[in-house]
Copies of this chain bind each other. A is one copy, B any other.
């Protein structure tokens, strides 16, 4: 398990990769962001981007999924608390394979058995161009806190 003390500013974790398919773009957006640019290939082709693009929330979902797979299973997380910033640098089109990294940018130990950890996540596409930057703040248990070692499993 990784506790707040184990996370050092500058520490970087590589993320796995995930392909974003046209089917997923449409299915995700129908449920959470039903704009034609995400849900209707023909309308999207006539629109500003000249074709379907993923909802920004979908791209953020990929970032979070890859982060959970890369490290959160080993992290004594209490909860996510805040997104400080999300920037969408370029549209994500069907067939794009996203990968990236997450870096610890702040770590502050508190007296209540927890620590606050800030993470900077970046996703890039197959050409190496950056598509997303995400800065999140989470609360993580300190080693030996009275809370269970695996609080939610």
Residues of A whose CB lies within 8 Å of any CB of B are 31-37, 40, 43-44, 46-49, 53, 55-57, 60-61, 64-65, 68-69, 72, 77-88, 91, 147-148, 150-153
Q: Determine whether the beta carbon of A37 is less than 8 Å from that of B152.
A: yes
CB distance B64 to A57 under 8 Å?
A: yes
Contact A148 B81 (CB under 8 A): no
Of the residues B31, B91, B147, contact of A48 by C-beta under 8 Å: B147
Copies of this chain, count: 2
Query: Is the pair A64, B152 in contact by a Cβ cutoff of 8 Å?
Result: no
Please report the C-alpha to C-alpha distance between residue A149 and residue B150 in the assembled complex, in whole angstroms: 53
Q: Indicate whether A35 sits within 8 Å of B68 (C-beta atoms), given known contacts A47-B151, A148-B46.
A: yes
Q: Please tell me if the beta carbons of A88 and B77 are within 8 angstroms of each other in the complex.
A: no
Contacts of A31 in B (CB 8 A): 61, 65
Residues of B within 8 A of A91 (CB): 79
Cα A100 to Cα B57 in complex, Å, equals: 19
Smallest CB-CB separation from A69: which chain B residue? Answer: B34
**Residues of chain B contacted by A85 (CB below 8 angstroms):** 82-85
